[in-house]
Structure 1
């Protein structure tokens, strides 16, 4: 089975008790809210990835204010991004960021179709990806290890590279 590694950077933007989210469109047309962010380009610095992706998906200029943590996800079988079976390992770098400019707009021709501010109290009721909950946990708890209690459990039975 082919192994794939994807490194991505995301932003938690909260202001006036509202969170900025982008609506992700899956290959099957399913739409769920996610953090603005996405995959790193080769040679790109992670915080620059986050800034670029926030602008692409929301129209806003963002500035990282803190590194909240790193999440890891593993999908085996037929990950949605690949035509053939594979083992996808995603590393998700989560920053706290503040909006410094720009105007809210929606992405066209990308993986998201809508960007919006949502009251924090309404986020649990939204159709969303698990990363939103993990990121909110990191933002609220600020764990010293940068690891959310909601992330995948560490499996001591797995070999270091497997």
Structure 2
């Protein structure tokens, strides 16, 4: 079985009770909401990754105001040629603040819409599981950097 590791960085940007989100289209015509962010390029620091990705996907310039924690997920998929792939995603979740730029949609990327969503409406959106994990980190601010763990 082939193993594939992906390290990525994402931003939780909340302003006036709204969360900055991006919409990702699926091949079947449906879409899901996620957070601005994505995979690190070789040699890139995750801090730089999250800043780059926020700008690419939303048009905004952001600053990192804190590291909320790490989310890790592992799952089995079918790769090209039907081969089984053991995928492991490690996602660093930062808190960010918009400091400039203009909201716009990404062109030619993995997302097709950037928007502010009311925090109270996020649970009703079709969204990737990372959104809930990141919001748990944002709410809990766990010392160990991982939501849902008992306090020491």
Query: Structure 1 length as normaliser, TM-score?
Result: 0.87
> What is the CA-CA distance between 1:143 and the residue it aligns to?
0.6
Q: Tell me the residue number matched to 2:132.
A: 133
Tell me the distance in 2 between the aligned counterparts of 1:87 and 1:26. 21
Q: Tell me the residue number matched to 2:59.
A: 59
Cα RMSD of the aligned pairs, angstroms, is: 1.2
Runs of at least 5 residues in structure 2 that lack an aligned partner in the other structure: none
Tell me the distance in 2 between the aligned counterparts of 1:50 and 1:103. 17
Query: Structure 2 length as normaliser, TM-score?
Result: 0.93
> What is the CA-CA distance between 1:25 and the residue it aligns to?
1.9
Tell me the distance in 2 between the aligned counterparts of 1:86 and 1:25. 22
| Residue aligned with 2:112, SS | strand
Q: Tell me the residue number matched to 1:101.
A: 100
- After TM superposition, the runs of 4+ consecutive aligned structure 1 residues lying more than 3 A away are none
Tell me the distance in 1 between the aligned counterparts of 2:86 and 2:133. 22
Q: Tell me the residue number matched to 2:85.
A: 86
Runs of at least 5 residues in structure 1 that lack an aligned partner in the other structure: 151-162
Say if 2:28 is the partner of 1:28. Answer: yes
> What is the CA-CA distance between 1:55 and the residue it aligns to?
0.4
